[in-house]
Structure 1
Amino acid sequence: MLTLACVLWLCSFSASALLAQTKVSLSNYTIPLDVRGAHIGSVINLSATKEAKIKMIRDTANLFVVKKNGVISLRENKLVQAKKGAHAYEIVLRIDEKRYAFELVKDEFLRNKVIAHRGAWRAQGVMQNSIRSFQHAVQLGCAGSEFDVWLSGDKQVVLSHDPHIGGLSVEESTADALHASTLKGGDPVPTLVDFIQLAKQQNKTKMILEIKPSPTGRSLELADSVVNIVHRLKAQGYLEYISFDYAVLQRIVSLDPSARTAYLYGNKTVDELKADGITGLDYDFYHYRNMPNLPLLAKAAGLATNVWTVNSEEELRKFLDSKVDWITTDEPELLLKLIQEQQPTTSNYE
């Protein structure tokens, strides 16, 4: 006869196994602008044991076509343009008699190197990791806005940088209790679901989602929950994942091989990251100082590079002139100002 503890363990294991199933995903979710018949991506289904039968069963915009080999593209005579029409489109595919919905996003995402650290909060006087800090990052025109997530006591994914917030332990408190503990400027603790639903209303600033290592051993459970939410909300094209926990990134890659991921801790080589399917490195500025050729090594391996957390004007100027792809900063306004100063001025004369 099973004990109550065994029953609870089996239920927990089953739920975790369900969440951890490999997702059917696309190799890419963004639509190139101004290209007729543009290639978008291909279906990835690691659980398939044979060639899958794939059919488009919903495309209300009449823009897309899926070929026999799972390649998705715009129809031959179709293109999408910036600032015209919707910024995203849903399609539904039938793959071996199962239905899968995806959201394809027009690629209007900014590429100005600016990642607002925990959102744009310092100059605005709002709470870090809040919905308003993300909104300010969007209004500023940042390429990305970084934020941190934990698993609450009732297994909801919530935004917080620290394990304690508003006097509460995040991992021991319910999401409702955390939300009710109003923080600086009246900003509540949002759930990841609420946050993503708001962030998806635009396609200029990407979400940079950091999964925090759990001191209670819940990191992989958190990773499973996050990927499940991202896929359920069809937000794959709007965000990238980062973490100090290498096992978390490996878990994400196993669930969704198309996920954009970057490692934060700095103890892995470019070759190790590449071999494990990690798509970028996101190391602190000391690593780049000690290894000036790191951006070039990463680029040669096809990996993206980000540096954190750079706040002084002197250091921001140095990394603007370097080969890193992105710069995470608590001073996005300053970094955007420095970028603007580097832009060539337009002469009034021929």
Structure 2
Amino acid sequence: MFNRKKIDSLFMMALVILLCITSPSILLAQTPSISLSNYTIPLNSRGAYVASVNGPLPLSQLRMKIVGDTAKLFTLGKNGKIYLRKSKLVSANDGIRAYGITVEFDKKRYEVELVKDEFLRNKVIAHRGAWRAEGVMQNSIRSFQQAVALGCAGSEFDVWLSKDRQVVLSHDPHIGGLAVEESTAQELYTSTLKGGDPVPTLIEFIKLAKQQNKTKMILEIKSSPTGRSLELADSVLAVVHRLKAQGYIEYISFDYAVLCHIVKRDPSARTAYLYGNKTVGELKVDGLAGLDYDFYQYRKDPTLIKRAKEAGLWTNVWTVNTVNELRKFLDSEVDWITTDEPELLLKLINEKKTKI
């Protein structure tokens, strides 16, 4: 006779294996991993503190060590703290962007990448890339390349999940007459190929963006009308971790549940909320790193920036395009300004410098 319990058990095991193979989000959920409190290396500071390791268990219960460090730059101190060796420092503009290390605990090994912190801090976030002046498509590889060429601190872009579970770049739920969530990544790519800026996947985009370390990727996870927002968030995290791109990316969304989900899955992820209906205290309690509100919210509450900074949150304002508004926020304590006119904002920054 057949053992019904055994058959059910084998069936469930096979189903889990199949799902893990076909779904990067489920694979991420099933696989224990570590994260770091930070993925960037401070410049010109011997023996500098780099990051702390966040593991699935209290660090006191783990036997940890660095087993891979080809550059021989790093050492692991007490309580899982990573430092540059006392005699070592990293400097800018030597052609090296990042260093890989492998951390081992409980006989499991995890590879991470630490990026030299040469990222720009000029407040300029190019909205959907720098596209308007050059006449290129928004959310395209060329719009990101142009933002890098201009010297923007960050370049914002939007992502959706295609029918075949590929994370693709687009602001709108439709591309070239096709519904993103109901089309394959190849169909979306083909439908826009003739325009010279075909729809890239997140994998393609990150691989290109990691060829520099001046401009950060500001990744907006769109709210899915079909209820796939959390699946999209998991797929995004799976791609980012697989490509070791944590040091390059910050996450934003209008969907608060998505951001809380990301924080739960990856406590070190830098997240900011877009909608503007949460207080500074709520953002802080839920573990978000910042707020990214439209300029009307800052007008309505002149103390917002001050209170956010007191809570240790970073601030961004969107989408600011006029000279007067750009100057106003440039003179404020806001950390970043998202704009469709990055060239104009950079010009205003240079003008301000010459007056000092």
TM-score normalised by the chain length of structure 2 = 0.92
Q: Counterpart of 1:46?
A: 56
Partner of 1:229: 239
Q: Does 1:190 align with 2:200?
A: yes
Distance 1:49 1:317 in 2: 47
Matched, 1:317 2:321: no
8 A contact 1:53–1:68 mirrored in 2: no
Does 1:117 pair with 2:127? yes
Looking at structure 1, the residues matched to 279 and 346 of structure 2 have their Cα atoms a distance apart, in angstroms, of 31
Query: Which of 15, 19, 25 is 2:28 aligned to?
Result: 19
User: Over residues 163-206 of structure 1, what are the superposed CA-to-partner deviations in whole Å (9 max), with x where a residue is unaligned?
Assistant: 00111110000011111112574100000000000000100000
Q: Which residue of 2 aligns with 1:146?
A: 156
Residue identity over aligned pairs, in percent, reads 71
Equivalent residue in structure 1 for 2:70, among 60, 64, 67: 60
Partners of 1:129 and 1:148 within 8 A in 2? yes
> Are the equivalent residues in 1 in contact too, given 2:59–2:79 (CA < 8 A)?
no
1:201, 1:49 → 2: CA distance? 33
* 2:176 is equivalent to residue 166 of structure 1: yes
The code of the aligned residue for 1:207 comes to: M
Match of 1:90 among 80, 94, 100: 100
Q: What TM-score do you get using the length of structure 1 for normalisation?
A: 0.93
Unaligned residue ranges in structure 1 (runs of 5+): none
Task: Look up the equivalent residue of 1:35 and give its one-letter code.
Answer: S
Look up the SS of the partner of 1:302 in the other structure.
coil
Provide the secondary structure at the position in 2 that maps to 1:147: strand
Match of 1:277 among 284, 287, 290: 287
Aligned-partner Cα distance in 1 for 2:248–2:111? 15
Bigger mean CA offset, 194-203 vs 77-86: 77-86
2:139 aligns with 129
Change (3 A) 1:223 1:269: same
Give the aligned length: 342
Q: Is the 8 A contact 1:309 1:327 kept in 2?
A: yes
Match of 1:179 in 2: 189
Letter in 1 for 2:161: L
CA distance in 2, matches of 1:23, 1:216: 29
Larger helix percent = 2
Q: Deviations over 1:293-321 (max 9, x none)?
A: 10000000000000000001111111111
Contact 1:147-1:208 at 8 Å conserved across structures? yes
Contact kept, 8 Å, 2:139 with 2:157, in 1: the verdict is: yes
Correspondence 1:162-311 to 2 at 5 A: 162-182=172-192, 185-311=195-321
CA RMSD, 1 decimal: 2.0
1: distance between equivalents of 2:244 and 2:173? 28
Query: Per the alignment, in what secondary structure is the counterpart of residue 113 of structure 2?
Result: strand
Matched residue SS, 2:53: strand
Q: 1:184 to 1:139 in 2, by over 3 A?
A: farther
| Separation in structure 2 between the aligned mates of residue 170 and residue 36 of structure 1, nearest angstrom | 48
List runs of 5+ in structure 2 lacking aligned partners.
Answer: none
Contact 1:166-1:183 within 8 A present in 2 as well? no
Aligned to 1:337: 347
For 1:54-110, what per-residue CA distance to the aligned partner results, in whole angstroms no more than 9, with x for missing partners?
111111111111124211111100000011241100001112111100100111000
Task: Tell whether the 8 Å contact from 2:60 to 2:79 is kept in structure 1 after alignment.
Answer: no
